[in-house]
Amino acid sequence: GAVVSQHPSRVICKSGTSVKIECRSLDFQATTMFWYRQFPKQSLMLMATSNEGSKATYEQGVEKDKFLINHASLTLSTLTVTSAHPEDSSFYICSARDPLAGVDTGELFFGEGSRLTVL
Amino acid sequence: LAKTTQPISMDSYEGQEVNITCSHNNIATNDYITWYQQFPSQGPRFIIQGYKTKVTNEVASLFIPADRKSSTLSLPRVSLSDTAVYYCLVGSSGTYKYIFGTGTRLKVLA
């Protein structure tokens, strides 16, 4: 099946620095990817929709200048947490759909997640 | 976007069958129902998907009544490794913007 990979799986940074997380679709081209964040014991919260070649669409309450999303190719989307603070510490997950995966049923493929810890 | 409602948590014992029901009262005609499993510190993993009636694969069965306003994920003979959070999502082609509900935290006991 389709594979989505994230990197890094874990990152620790100092407060005030920026961190980039990559999301790659390994065996398919993804025109659209989604970014979620998840706090401990909570559900996934959709942050933004990443569109190849155009600006990302952010969910209400998500700061677009804080969470920069770039989807420069059909296999790569990046999330940059700018000027990170301890409250940005979370588990970040990306997902993508395979537009050629047989019947288009809305199935999403998720990455392994990236745990960010801001000190 | 169809909203889903699931029990927050369930406990079961090894070897038992577990049924988790999800309500999705405002499901649209084109929507499919997809269940995902998530272990701690991992991304969700696809379990099963269906549109109506019953679907079965090597790990689970999915029961969907005729009105499609709910669905039941059935896990036969669970083991300790099935302890995870299970999410049901409703969506269709063109609507991949899923809103995750609470999910059901299943704990399998020895």
CB contact under 8 A, A110 and B36: yes
Predicted local distance difference test score (pLDDT) of residue B77: 94
Predicted local distance difference test score (pLDDT) of residue B100: 84
Partners of A6 on chain B (C-beta within 8 Å) are 43
Q: Alpha carbon of A108 to those of A4, A73, A78, B79, B108: distances in Å?
A: 10, 19, 18, 26, 27
Chain B residue closest to A101 (CA)? B93
Predicted local distance difference test score (pLDDT) of residue A80: 97
CB contact under 8 A, A106 and B95: yes
Q: Does B91 touch chain A (CB under 8 A)?
A: yes
Best residue in A4, A44, A51, A103 for a mutation probing chain B (most B CBs within 10 Å): A44
Residues of chain A with pLDDT under 70: 1-2, 101-106
Predicted local distance difference test score (pLDDT) of residue B96: 66
Predicted local distance difference test score (pLDDT) of residue B98: 78
* Rounded (10°) CA dihedral A31, A37, A43, A49: -30
CB contact under 8 A, A104 and B45: no
Best residue in B42, B59, B107 for a mutation probing chain A (most A CBs within 10 Å): B42
Single-letter amino acid code for the residue at B18: V
Q: Does A74 touch chain B (CB under 8 A)?
A: no
Predicted local distance difference test score (pLDDT) of residue B2: 64
Predicted local distance difference test score (pLDDT) of residue A7: 96
∠ CA(A107), CA(A30), CA(A61), 5° rounding?
A: 80
Predicted local distance difference test score (pLDDT) of residue A2: 67
- Cα distance between residue B80 and residue B89, in whole Å: 24
Preceding omega of A40 cis (within 30 degrees of 0): no
Q: Is the Cβ–Cβ distance between A101 and A46 less than 8 Å? A: no
Nearest to B96 among A45, A97, A111 (CB): A97
Predicted local distance difference test score (pLDDT) of residue B48: 93
Predicted local distance difference test score (pLDDT) of residue A101: 63
Q: Block means of pLDDT (10 residues each) for chain B, length 110 residues?
A: 87 97 91 93 93 94 96 97 95 70 95
